[in-house]
């Protein structure tokens, strides 16, 4: 990527400092998002004013050549350094009209902001967690600035493009960036009553009777007798609503041992295994490591092994149950176990953009200063967040999801949803099924 590839590039970045952080950040901006071939060279290699399209990224405030961006220093730091005190956390969309002069103002470093958001630097520095050991949205700087529903990273990329368009309109045309959508499903409970073994079935019935939940107890018995469909058996509906999608949905399967937060079906049950095999023959699938597997390499390995044995396929996708993960430990475990794609990058307690982007990106191991082979796929909307965490009613949830969807369409990227099959069948989720159908239609338009 450095100077030796300059002949094959459309654009050159001149900098006063080479680092893995710079390579990672500029690659995301120019290759991954803008689709521009580029090279990185030392400012010392410049001879006069370059004729080729270029930019200069430097900490030197006296630099006069244009276009240049003033570095805040976050990309110049040594191994393991995590200092962002000189970096402005802001929405670059709001200052786009002043784009060029702001790129030279101290602290306004869009490249630095992009790295800060993608690397999740603040999650290494802030040890405030919720009751499940997760880094919550309420601990994030974006939340504190009321910017959690704003794609800060993607707005910074568009800001950079708007600056460079003034100098190189043919290389950086202001055209809409490609948009796509993706539906994903977490299968925590394939069935509400069935496929859990006799003891768990009887135990569940006993609890319902003791609590006076007569309607639930009657439904359980009717389902067991084959007189009523299990309310969580919504897979035909899910396939039908996704039938017109441009992309295949991804299913994540919870296969851990039963526990307080792991209520999945019995992994030995023939019909459950048959369902997994059928779905995996038509759609991409991934592991959904159990709550109890948190930072437990052997448990995650065992659960991956179960899914591979059932499907007969190598499993490379992951989403953590309860979105319960910790950086860098959880992502390192995934890499050790052969997982190459993770779909956990979002908050349980907020909708929006945990890493500031809807674009997939490679995880950067900040302690080791390494660009890893783990591709992170952020998602923006989960129905549990809308209803249970934020307490929104159906109308407000649809409006909130629609606003996020439009923001992704405006920046390009991938609008990704997380839904649970159980939410389509429970009485308390009445009306959400149609909401989901409407949302899926809007996602595809």
Cβ atoms of 264 and 189 within 8 Å: the answer is yes
The residue behind tokens 């060279």 is 41
Please answer whether residues 309 and 343 qualify as being in contact, where contact means their C-beta atoms are separated by less than 8 angstroms.
Answer: no
pLDDT tens digits along 391-423 = 999 999 999 999 999 999 999 999 999 999 999
Bond prior to 328 in cis (omega within 30° of 0): yes
The mean pLDDT of 288-313, rounded to a whole number, is: 98
Separation CA 53–CA 441 (nearest Å): 41
Is the pLDDT at 17 greater than 70? The verdict is yes
Of residues 101, 100, 95, the one with CA closest to residue 152? 95
Element (H, E) at 41: strand 38-42
Residue 350 CB-half CA count within 13 A: 22
pLDDT by residue (tens digit) across 228-273?
A: 999 999 999 999 999 999 999 999 999 999 999 999 999 999 999 9
Residue 356: predicted pLDDT: 98
Whether 316 and 338 have beta carbons less than 8 Å apart is answered as: yes
Helix (H) or strand (E) holding 56: strand 54-58
Rounded-to-integer distance, Cα 10 and Cα 21, Å: 21
Tokens of residue 17, six digits: 């400092």
The rounded distance, in Å, linking the Cα atoms of 122 and 355 is 11
| Residue 74 or 105, more confident | 74
Query: Is the preceding omega at residue 357 within 30 degrees of 0, hence cis?
Result: no
Helices of type H across 193-252: 198-210, 214-224, 235-242
Q: Give pLDDT, residue 6.
A: 55
User: Which of the pair, 104 or 402, is modelled with greater confidence?
Assistant: 402
Q: For residues 440 and 1, which has the higher predicted lDDT (pLDDT)?
A: 440
pLDDT-wise least confident of 4-13, 109-118, 139-148, 218-227: 4-13
Predicted confidence (pLDDT) at residue 199 exceeds the cutoff of 90: no
Q: b/e string for 41-57 if b means 16 or more Cβ within 10 A?
A: bebeeeeeeeeebbbbb
Beta strands in 291-403, from DSSP E residues, in sequence order: 317-318, 341-342, 361-365, 370-376, 381-382
pLDDT value at residue 4: 43
Q: What residues does each domain of the chain span?
A: 3-165, 179-192+231-444
pLDDT surpasses 60 at 61 = yes
Task: Note the CATH architecture for domain 179-192+231-444.
Answer: Alpha-Beta Barrel (3.20)
The predicted-structure confidence for 110-133, as pLDDT tens digits, reads as follows 999 999 999 999 999 999 999 999
Q: How distant is the alpha carbon of residue 148 from its chain centre?
A: 13
Q: What are phi and psi of 185, to 5 degrees?
A: -130, 135
Handedness of CA 425, 422, 381, 418 (dihedral sign): negative
Q: How many angstroms separate the CA atoms of 439 and 130, rounded?
A: 30
pTM: 0.94
Task: Report which DSSP code applies to 177.
Answer: P
Q: Both tokens of residue 77?
A: 């730091």
Render pLDDT for 356-375 as a digit per residue (tens, 0 to 9).
999 999 999 999 999 999 99
Q: Enter the DSSP assignment of 176.
A: P
Between 33 and 4, name the one with better pLDDT.
33
**Bridge partner list, 182:** 416
pLDDT score, position 109: 94
- Going by their DSSP bridges, the two strands 370-376 and 361-365 should be labelled as antiparallel
- Provide the pLDDT confidence category of residue 7 given band limits of 50, 70 and 90: low
* CA 280 – CA 241 distance, rounded (Å): 17
Q: Between helices 110-119 and 152-165, what is the axis angle to 10°?
A: 150
Mean pLDDT of the 159-174 span: 94
In this structure, are residues 108 and 90 in contact, taking their beta carbons and an 8 Å threshold?
yes
């Amino acid at each position: 990527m450095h100077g030796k590839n300059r002949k094959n590039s459309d654009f050159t970045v001149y900098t006063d400092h080479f680092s893995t952080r710079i390579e990672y950040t500029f690659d995301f901006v120019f290759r991954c998002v803008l689709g521009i071939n580029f090279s990185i060279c030392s400012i010392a290699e410049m001879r006069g004013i370059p004729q080729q399209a270029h930019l200069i990224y430097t900490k030197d405030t006296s630099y006069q050549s244009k276009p240049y961006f003033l570095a805040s220093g976050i990309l110049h730091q040594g191994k393991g350094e995590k200092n962002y005190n000189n970096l402005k956390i802001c929405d670059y969309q709001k200052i786009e009209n002043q784009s060029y002069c702001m790129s030279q103002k101290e602290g306004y470093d869009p490249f630095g902001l992009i790295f800060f958001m993608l690397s999740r630097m603040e999650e290494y520095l802030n040890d405030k967690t919720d009751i499940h050991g997760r880094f919550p949205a309420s601990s994030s700087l974006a939340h504190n600035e009321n910017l959690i529903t704003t794609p800060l990273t993607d707005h910074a990329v568009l800001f950079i493009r708007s600056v460079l368009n003034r100098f190189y309109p043919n290389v950086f045309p202001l055209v809409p960036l490609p948009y796509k959508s993706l539906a994903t499903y977490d299968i925590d409970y394939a069935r509400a009553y069935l496929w859990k073994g006799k003891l768990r079935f009887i135990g569940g019935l006993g609890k319902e009777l003791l609590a006076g939940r007569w309607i639930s107890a009657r439904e359980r018995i009717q389902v067991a007798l084959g007189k009523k469909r299990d309310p969580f058996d919504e897979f035909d509906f899910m396939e039908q609503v996704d039938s017109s999608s441009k992309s295949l949905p991804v299913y994540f399967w919870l296969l851990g041992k039963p526990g307080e937060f792991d209520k999945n079906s019995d992994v030995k049950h023939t019909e459950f295994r048959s369902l997994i095999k059928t779905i995996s023959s038509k759609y991409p699938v991934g592991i959904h490591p159990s709550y109890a597997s948190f930072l437990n390499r052997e448990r995650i390995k065992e659960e991956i092994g179960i899914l591979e044995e059932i499907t007969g396929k190598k499993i490379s996708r992951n989403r953590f149950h309860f979105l319960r993960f910790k950086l860098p430990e959880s992502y390192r475990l995934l890499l050790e176990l052969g997982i190459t794609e993770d779909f956990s990058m979002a908050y349980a307690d907020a909708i929006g953009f945990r890493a500031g982007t809807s674009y997939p990106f490679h995880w950067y191991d900040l302690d080791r200063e390494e660009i890893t082979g783990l591709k992170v796929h952020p998602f923006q909307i989960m129905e549990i967040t809308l209803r249970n965490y934020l307490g929104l009613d159906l109308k407000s949830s649809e409006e909130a999801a629609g606003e996020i969807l439009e923001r992704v369409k405006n920046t390009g990227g991938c609008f990704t949803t997380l839904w649970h099959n159980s939410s389509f069948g429970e009485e308390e989720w009445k009306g959400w099924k149609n909401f989901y159908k409407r949302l899926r239609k809007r996602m595809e338009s």
